[in-house]
Chain A
Amino acid sequence: MTRSSMPSILQITTFGVLLFMALPNLLILVISFNSAATLAFPPTGLSLKWYANVFSTPSFAVGIKQSLLLAATSCAVSMVLGVLASLAIVRFRFFGRQAANVFVMAPLFVPEIVMGIAMLLWANTVLFISNTAVLVVLHCLIVLPYVVRLVVANLQGMDPNLESAAMLLGARPHQAFLHVTLPLLGKGLLGAAVFAIVMSFHNFTATMFLVGNSPTLPVAAYQYIRTENDPTVAALSTLTMLGGILAVYLMEKWIGLERLVR
C-alpha cells in the first residue's frame, strides 16, 4: 500500500458509508413526489398531492400535536430535574453522591422495549392519570440521563470561582445561580434541550406500547405504513427531515455543531 493511495481508499469508504446511510432517505424523498398512489420506486410521475394529504390525514394531525406537546413538556420537565441533579452532583460533596449519579443514569441501562412494557404495567396500576401524562413520564425517563450527562459535562468545564465571586460580592446562592451560572451555561443548556427534544420526538419503540388512541408522529407513520399504501407517509418523513435539517442549520449558525456534540 503506497502512501498516496491511502487517502483515496479512505475517501471511497467514507463516501460509500455516507451513501449507504443516506440512500434510503433519498429514495423516500423521491417517492414522496410520486403521482401514483403506491410506495414504489421509481416514481411514475410528479405530484405534490401527498404533501397536501399530510395535513388532511387525521392521525398525522394528532401525531404532530402529540409529538410536539410531548417533546416540549418532557424537555422542560427533564431540563429542570436534570439541571438540579447536575448541580448537586458537580457542585456538592455529599454522602451518596456517586450512587445518586448512577441512579439518575439508570434509564440508560434499561432496554427501550423493557421500559415500554414496564411503563405500560405502571400505567395499569395508577389509573388516575391520563394517557398523555404516562407518555410524559416515559419520555422524561428516556431523556433525563442525556440531559444530566450534557449538563454535568458543561458544569465541570465551568469555573466555580465565578459563582463564589458573585457570592462574595453579596449575591445569595440562588441569585448567583440565576445571574451567573445559568447565563454561562446557556449554550450547554440549549444543546441539552435540543437533544432532549430530538430524543423525545423520534422515540418509537418504548412509545409504541403506550400510545393508546393518540399516536405520536413516528407511531402514526408506522401505523400508516401498515394500513395504507400511498406516499403520504413519505411526504411526512421528508417534511420532518427538512425540519431536522433546518434545525441543524440554525444550531450551526447559533452555537456551532461541534460544541453541541462534544
Chain B
Amino acid sequence: MRQRLVPYLLVVPSFILIVTLLMGLSSVLGWSLDDGTGSGATFAQYESLVTNASYRRFFTSSLWLAGVATAVALVLGFPAAYYMETKASPRQRKLIFAALLAMFLSDYVLKMFGLVLILGRTGLVNKLLLWLGVTDEPFRLMFNEFGVLVGLISGILPYMILSLNGVIARLDKRLQEAAALLGAAPWQVFLLITVPLCVPGILAGTMLSFLLSLNSFVTPMLLGGGRVDMIAVFIFDQSINLGNLPLGSAAAGILFLISAAAILALTVAGDRFHRRFQR
C-alpha cells in the first residue's frame, strides 16, 4: 500500500506549485467578471473587447503580426538549420551553435534597442542606402508594422533554428538519395521528402515562435512607436498604467484562450500528419 503512494508523494510538491498558478488564473477570471459592486458578475468586459473595434484591433493585429513573423522566421530559419546540419564543417557547425546560444544569453531588451539603431531614420540601413544613392529621402523602417515584424523575427529566429536542427540532423539521407536516383529533381526531393520528414520540428518551432511573438511586449514598445497595436501592451497599459484591472484581466483571459487554441490546433495537425505519413 505504501509503495503505491510513492509516486503521488513525488508529484505533490510540483502540484502545490502549479496550484498557485491556478489560483492566480482564477483571480484573473474573477477580476474579468467584476462588475464593480463586488458581489455580482458581468460579461461586460468581454463584450466590449469583442464588439469595440479598437479593442478588437489589438487582437487581430497581434495575430497577424505573430503569424507573418513566424512564417518568415520559418522560411529564413530552415535553410540556416539545414546548412548547419548537412553542409557545414564540424568547426563551422560548432561556431553557429555557439552563436545561437549566445543569442539566448544576451539581453532581449537591448537586442531590440540595437535594432532601433539599425532601422532608425538615421540608422545603419538608411545611412547605407543614402550613401549608395538608392534614395535621397530616408525610409521609415520603424515605428510601423515593418519595424515590429523585423524585431519579432530577429527575436524568434534562434528558437526556430534550434527547434529545426534536431529533426534535420535525424533525417535519413538514404531516402533523399533514393528519390534522387529515381529521377526526382532537387526541389522535388526537398518538397516531397525533406520537408515532410521535418514536420515535427517545424510544428514545434512554429508553435514556440508564434506564442513568443503573440506575447511580445518589448518589441512593440521600442519599435512600434505607439502606432502598432499588440495585445501584451494593451494588457499592461490597462492593468498597470490605467488601473483598469477588469478590462486587463478579460483581455488576458482571451489571450489565454487564443494561445490554448493555437497549441491545440498545431498539436492536432501534428498528430494527423503523423498518422497520414506513417500510412
Contact = CB atoms under 8 A, between A and B. Distances in A.
Given A20-B154, A111-B214, A122-B20, A27 B124 contact: yes
Given A6-B186, A40-B117, A204 B105 contact: no
A6 to B, nearest CB: 7
Interface stretch (A87-95, A158-166, A179-187): A87-95
Nearest to A125: B27
Looking at chain B, what size class is its interface with the partner chain? 35 or more
Contacts, number: 266
A209 B28 CA distance: 14
Contact of A41 (B108, B117, B239): B117
Contacts of B222: 225
Contacts of A122: 20-21, 23-24, 27
A23 B114 contact: yes
B105 A113 contact: no
Tell me the dominant secondary structure on chain B's binding face: helix
Interface in B1-49: 4, 6-8, 10-11, 13-15, 17-18, 20-25, 27-28, 31
Chain A interface helix/strand/loop/mixed? helix
B252 A113 contact: yes
B64 interface: no
A255 interface: no
A115 B256 CA distance: 9
B129 interface: no
Interface in B145-163: 154, 157-158, 161-162
A24 interface: yes
Nearest to A85: B14
Interface in B86-117: 87-88, 94, 96-115, 117
Contact of A241 (B106, B154, B158, B253): B106
Contact of A114 (B13, B110, B255, B263): B255
A94 to B, nearest CB: 4
B55 interface: no
Contacts of B113: 24, 28, 39, 225, 233
A144 B114 CA distance: 31
B273 interface: no
B108 A202 contact: yes
The interface size bin for chain A is 35 or more
Contacts of A44: none
A137 B186 contact: no
A149 to B, nearest CB: 12
Interface in B239-268: 239-240, 245, 248-249, 252-253, 255-256, 259-260, 263
Contacts of A41: 117, 123-124
A189 B142 CA distance: 43
B7 A88 contact: yes
B198 interface: no
B130 interface: no
B186 A119 contact: no
A55 interface: no
A37 interface: no
Given A24-B115, A41-B124, A111-B252, 12 more contacts: A14-B83, A17-B76, A24-B118, A27-B124, A82-B14, A88-B8, A110-B259, A118-B21, A119-B21, A208-B217, A236-B107, A258-B97
- Which 4 A-B residue pairings sit nearest by Cβ, starting from the closest? A244-B105, A24-B114, A118-B24, A121-B27
25 contacts: A14-B84, A17-B79, A21-B100, A22-B99, A23-B124, A24-B112, A24-B117, A40-B117, A85-B10, A85-B11, A88-B7, A104-B18, A109-B263, A111-B215, A111-B259, A117-B235, A117-B248, A121-B24, A121-B249, A141-B18, A141-B20, A217-B107, A241-B107, A248-B101, A261-B162
